């Protein structure tokens, strides 16, 4: 009855069977490389405790009241300044919309730009949460092959030449989820050129850019854009903590008011008290120092995981060595299936996410994603040893 009355778009949205399997990874004896969580040991709990009291004492009435959809202006000022310093943009608060996590920025962008049947290009593979958010708007996904330098621009051009309703391109150029790879400057420049030529809107999703373990930052797509066609999605989830749900969208001043209209309909505004707390934190403490701490811990975990993979993986397994972010990506021999491997791994109390879920059009079942941010080095070593053992047994069958 009621269930026959769902909108057509609900047919496209299916809970992945992987989610069900991954529920099993919550048992404490399982060493799970499946999540994408920051390490809660690094959350600045004491500082936030002091800030929470201060905000309520000094601005309790405002902090608990409704506020504007755009977001708390002093916070937007700080975000614009921070972006201009670290990402080479030239924004003011008017270019910043505070969102409930960057996930909401993805959803609002999909709603603002995608009509049913429009084509959205994405990296192959891409972030599952974005694929799900866009899918609700009924687009066609065109996956563009990627390598260790970023998206294959030659193939993108060919695809664009044969695609009727090309509209959006969604990319994660820094320490991508799921692969951990970053784009070179040349690929970024070429993408901007193509977007200008084919009149595409670019969504640059950047939750991991500041978690760089080595090397120099590469200019953001938004800093290379001269036509206002890049929406940049930022978040405090990985540099601070995800529970406050504080993210932002930075865009040309012609785009922000449209997103504001949509956000009004979605949730009126981001949490006032979260915004006030974050703003007071940024006022009182140095987020840069906090990021240095996080980076030191994750770099060691990355190193530990890479050493363990070199030691434990069969020679034909290929893996990425990420220079930042939370993830690495494995490619097994083409005939192997990571979903089958996961089922076997769960018997040995180790888990990961099979890579097939990150391809909107399916396939690539011989790939998998590993997270190293949320676990001690001892558990990384033990977990990769277990994974290696199960993989060797599976391959020998
Ligand atoms: N984009 C990417 C690529 C992500 O990996 C994530 C979170 N895992 C998000 C967006 C959403 O993060 P949040 O909403 O917490 O900012």
For 290-323, what is each residue's pLDDT tens digit?
Answer: 999 999 999 999 999 999 999 999 999 999 999 9
CA of 367 to the centre of ligand 1 (A): 21
Residue 17 is predicted with a pLDDT of 65
Express each pLDDT in 178-222 by its tens digit.
Answer: 999 999 999 999 999 999 999 999 999 999 999 999 999 999 999
Residue 22 is predicted with a pLDDT of 75
CA of 198 to the centre of ligand 1 (A): 28
CA of 233 to the centre of ligand 1 (A): 9
> For 15-19, 73-77, 163-167, which range has the lowest pLDDT when averaged over its residues?
15-19
Looking at ligand 1, which atom is closest to the CA of residue 172? 3
**In the predicted model, what is the mean pLDDT of residues 269-291?**
98
CA of 118 to the centre of ligand 1 (A): 23
Task: Match 């991991």 to its residue by tokens.
Answer: 208
- Of the candidates 374, 83, 367, the one whose C-alpha atom is nearest the C-alpha of residue 221 is 83
For residue 166, count other CB atoms closer than 10 A to its CB: 21
- d(C-alpha 195, C-alpha 191), whole Å: 6
Looking at ligand 1, which atom is closest to the CA of residue 236? 16
Residue 3 is predicted with a pLDDT of 74
Atom 5 (ligand 1): residue with closest C-alpha? Answer: 177
Q: Using the Cα atoms of residue 82, residue 131, residue 127 and residue 171 in order, give the sign of their dihedral.
A: negative
Residue 21 is predicted with a pLDDT of 72
The CA-based dihedral angle spanning residues 91, 97, 102, 108, taken in that order and rounded to the nearest 10 degrees = -120
Q: Which residues line ligand 1 (CB under 6 A)?
A: 36, 101-103, 127, 129, 172, 177, 205, 207, 235, 237, 242, 247
The half-sphere exposure of 205 on its side-chain side, counting CA atoms within 13 A, is 28
Residue 25 confidence class, pLDDT cut points 50, 70, 90: confident
Using CB atoms within 10 A of its CB, is residue 188 exposed (0-12), middle (13-18) or buried (19+)? Answer: buried
Q: For residue 125, is the peptide bond before it cis, meaning its omega torsion is within 30 degrees of 0?
A: yes
Ligand 1 pocket mutation pick from 43, 129, 239, 250 by most atoms within 8 angstroms of CB: 129
Ligand 1 pocket mutation pick from 36, 37, 103, 172 by most atoms within 8 angstroms of CB: 103
CA of 275 to the centre of ligand 1 (A): 18
Ligand 1 pocket mutation pick from 207, 234, 245 by most atoms within 8 angstroms of CB: 207
Looking at ligand 1, which atom is closest to the CA of residue 103? 14
Helices (H), the chain: 17-23, 45-63, 73-87, 101-113, 128-135, 153-161, 185-198, 221-224, 256-267, 272-284, 287-312, 338-347, 377-396
Looking at ligand 1, which atom is closest to the CA of residue 235? 16
**In the predicted model, what is the mean pLDDT of residues 32-49?**
95
**In the predicted model, what is the mean pLDDT of residues 136-152?**
96
The partner residues of 147 in beta bridges, in order of sequence, read: 150
CA of 382 to the centre of ligand 1 (A): 28
Residue 26 confidence class, pLDDT cut points 50, 70, 90: confident
Helices (H), 118-220: 128-135, 153-161, 185-198
| Largest interatomic CA distance in the chain | 66
Looking at ligand 1, which atom is closest to the CA of residue 36? 8
Across the chain, what does the average pLDDT equal? Answer: 95
Whether pLDDT at 355 is above 60: yes
Whether pLDDT at 2 is above 70: no
Q: How far apart are the first and last CA of the chain?
A: 49
Express each pLDDT in 52-110 by its tens digit.
Answer: 999 999 999 999 999 999 999 999 999 999 999 999 999 999 999 999 999 999 999 99
- Of the candidates 207, 225, 215, the one whose C-alpha atom is nearest the C-alpha of residue 102 is 207
**Could you give the C-alpha distances from 19 to 15, 169, 243, in angstroms and in order?**
7, 27, 21
Whether pLDDT at 396 is above 90: no
> For 24-28, 254-258, 322-326, which range has the lowest pLDDT when averaged over its residues?
24-28
Q: How much of the chain exceeds pLDDT 70, in percent?
A: 99
Q: Which two tokens stand for residue 64?
A: 């608990």
Whether pLDDT at 255 is above 80: yes
Atom 9 (ligand 1): residue with closest C-alpha? Answer: 103
Whether pLDDT at 1 is above 70: no
- d(C-alpha 379, C-alpha 49), whole Å: 30
Whether pLDDT at 397 is above 90: no
CA of 207 to the centre of ligand 1 (A): 6
- Of the candidates 341, 32, 359, the one whose C-alpha atom is nearest the C-alpha of residue 178 is 359
CA of 34 to the centre of ligand 1 (A): 15
CA of 104 to the centre of ligand 1 (A): 9
CA of 103 to the centre of ligand 1 (A): 6
- d(C-alpha 390, C-alpha 384), whole Å: 10
CA of 242 to the centre of ligand 1 (A): 9
Q: Using the Cα atoms of residue 187, residue 84, residue 233 and residue 264 in order, give the sign of their dihedral.
A: negative
Atom 8 (ligand 1): residue with closest C-alpha? Answer: 36
């Amino acid at each position: 009855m009621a269930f026959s009355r769902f909108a057509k778009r609900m047919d496209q949205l299916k809970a992945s069977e992987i989610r069900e399997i991954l529920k099993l990874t919550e048992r404490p004896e399982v060493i799970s490389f499946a999540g994408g969580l920051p390490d809660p040991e690094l959350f600045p709990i004491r500082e936030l405790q002091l800030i929470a009291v201060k905000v309520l004492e000094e601005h309790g009435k405002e902090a608990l009241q409704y506020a504007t959809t755009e977001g708390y202006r002093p916070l937007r000022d700080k975000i614009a300044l921070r972006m201009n310093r670290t990402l080479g943009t030239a924004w003011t608060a008017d270019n910043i919309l505070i969102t409930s996590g960057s996930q909401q920025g993805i959803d609002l962008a999909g709603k603002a730009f995608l009509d049913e049947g429009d084509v959205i290009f994405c990296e192959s593979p891409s972030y599952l949460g974005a694929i799900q958010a866009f899918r609700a708007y009924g687009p066609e996904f065109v996956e563009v092959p990627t390598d260790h330098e970023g998206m294959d621009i030659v193939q993108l051009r060919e695809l664009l030449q044969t695609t009727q309703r090309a509209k959006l391109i969604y990319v994660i150029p820094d320490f991508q989820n799921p692969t951990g790879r970053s784009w070179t400057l040349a690929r970024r420049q070429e993408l901007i050129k193509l977007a200008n030529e084919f009149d595409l809107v670019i969504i640059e999703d950047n939750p991991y850019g500041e978690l760089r373990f080595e090397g120099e930052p590469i200019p953001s797509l938004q800093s290379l854009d001269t036509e206002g066609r890049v929406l940049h999605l930022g978040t405090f989830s990985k540099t601070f903590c995800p529970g406050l749900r504080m993210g932002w969208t930075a865009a040309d001043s012609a785009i922000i008011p449209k997103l504001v209209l949509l956000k009004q309909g979605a949730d009126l505004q981001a949490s006032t008290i979260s915004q006030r707390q974050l703003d007071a934190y940024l006022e009182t403490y140095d987020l840069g120092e906090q990021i240095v701490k996080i980076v030191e811990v994750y770099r060691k975990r990355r190193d530990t995981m890479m050493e363990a993979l070199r030691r434990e993986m069969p020679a034909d397994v290929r893996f990425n060595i990420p220079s930042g972010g939370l993830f690495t990506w494995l490619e097994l021999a083409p005939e192997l299936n990571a979903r089958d491997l996961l089922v076997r791994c769960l018997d040995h109390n180790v888990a990961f996410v099979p890579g097939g879920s990150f391809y909107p059009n399916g396939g690539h079942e011989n790939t998998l994603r590993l997270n190293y941010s949320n676990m001690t080095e001892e558990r990384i070593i033990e977990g990769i040893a277990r994974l290696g053992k199960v993989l060797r047994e599976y391959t020998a069958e």
